[in-house]
Chain A
Amino acid sequence: MITKRIIPCLDVRNGRVVKGVNFEGLNDVSSPVELADYYSKCGADELVFYDITASSDGRQIFTDILCETAKKVFIPLTVGGGINTVADFDRVLKCGADKVSVNSGAIRNPGLIEEAAKLYGDQCVVISADVKRVDGVFRVFAKGGRENTGMEAIEWIKRCVDNGAGEVVLNSIDTDGVKGGFDLEMLDAVCNAVSVPVIASGGAGCIDDFTTLFKTLPKVDAGLAASIFHFGEVSIKDLKTELKANGIPVRL
């Protein structure tokens, strides 16, 4: 039986993990390579590296870090942030990334998904959408959630999947950072609209939030979170043990 995936997300700037972490046994808690290795050993099913570097120097450092990680960590690796062209796809895939997630790049250039899917296959292209309710309507936001594009989110995500995106990461701006649970209503709407895997992001505060997610919405394939893992508030092993106890298939 296919298992539900638990995915830690690492924001990387200038070669360092941005959000602070406090794990025992890690020499360098802000080294993406060490943290990725640690999560892999703890049972993470996949990793997301998010490049929040602005400069081109930073880009080079990021790809170096990616190569170092892929030499050591042998679980699927998704890379996002600053992906605007197929040359960006090429740059990170050569360093060992398995999937590439696009967000603002696809909003600016709607042909990017189709072009990349033709070159690398649908399974390689992930559409990551930052979505927020505005007057009761789901709207797509760009630039890290700062700019309302005015586009209706479900239609946008459907169009991306039709163009070749093989997976959807849905980040609810409304629940992100609140730690009150995933945005089940928004996720349900997306799951009913597309037939590719959907990854829930934004809002996880405790183990129960994941249990509720997978129990309420069996169509959701994976749960993604950052700070609750980085701060040690939720251990991946405990989380997966608890999910299994609740009858949710996981890899333990």
Chain B
Amino acid sequence: MVAIIDYGVGNLFSLVSSFRAIGAEAVITADPKVIADADRIILPGVGAFEDAAKKLRDSGMADIVKAEVAKGKPLMGICLGMQLLFDKSYEYGEFEGLGLIKGEVRPIAEVIPADYKIPHIGWNALDFHGRSCKLFKYINEGDHVYFVHSFYAANCNEAMVATAEYGADLTAAVADKNVYGCQFHPEKSGEVGMKILKAFCELEA
């Protein structure tokens, strides 16, 4: 069973539907017992980092997620949920993240050419840079996934497993032991996205 962490941000309808579509049981929950019983955890998120990080802490979900990860349970952060995995973010200030993956979140404006539009929105191709990731076992380099973001994970070269080219190589996915993160939205990335979710559901819990 997949526990999708509910901490009061974003709309989780598509996410829960996408897991059900691939035959996985998924629940939206903030119940520590349900999260402890789940085989794997999804940390979703849209909106602003500061607000989301605060809600994650204030709801107690931050400690619960960290404790489950420490037991070896697979965790995947999606979009802002991925950014929350890092040490800190420079989105309109400087804020602490969960510190599960080394690196920081910075504005894409710092690295892309001035005539590129912000946010980076639309379908972009994944580059693997010769790295492999269990999440990508059913997809190929060059497959397209759907992005919507204005900030990106920087200084995370050790954990980086895919980038997307948008005037610069923007971190598209990260992995460190049982912690995974996708900047793009697998639940909105059609068949390719479903294959990534399927691979996540097959990770050993």
Query: Which residues on A are within 8 Å of B, measured CB to CB?
Result: 1-3, 5, 40, 45, 67, 70-72, 74-76, 93-96, 98, 121-123, 166-167, 195-197, 221-222, 251
Contacts and interface: CB of A to CB of B under 8 A. Distances in A.
Contact of B123 (A5, A72, A96): A5
B14 A74 contact: yes
B140 interface: no
Q: How large is the interface on B (under 10, 10 to 19, 20 to 34, 35 or more residues)?
A: 20 to 34
Contacts of A1: 124-125, 165-166
A197 B122 contact: yes
Contacts of A96: 11, 13-14, 17
Given A2-B122, A2-B123, A3-B122, A75 B13 contact: no
Nearest to A76: B188
Contact of A75 (B17, B47, B125, B146): B146
Contact of A72 (B21, B148, B188): B21
Nearest to B144: A251
B188 A75 contact: yes
Pairs of residues from A and B, 5 with the lowest C-beta to C-beta distance, nearest first: A251-B144, A251-B123, A96-B13, A71-B17, A3-B123
Contacts of B120: 2
A69 B117 CA distance: 30
A195 B190 contact: no
Interface in B66-122: 117-122
B183 interface: no
Interface in B148-195: 148, 165-166, 187-190, 193-194
B47 A121 contact: yes
A74 B117 contact: no
A93 to B, nearest CB: 5
B168 to A, nearest CB: 12
A1 B112 CA distance: 12
Contacts of A76: 146, 188
A3 B119 contact: no
Contact of A94 (B11, B118, B125, B187): B11
Which of A72, A98, A122, A221: most chain B Cβ within 10 A? A98
A25 B142 CA distance: 30
Contacts of B119: 122-123, 166
Given A40-B190, A96-B13, A98-B188, A74 B18 contact: yes
Contacts of A75: 146, 188-190
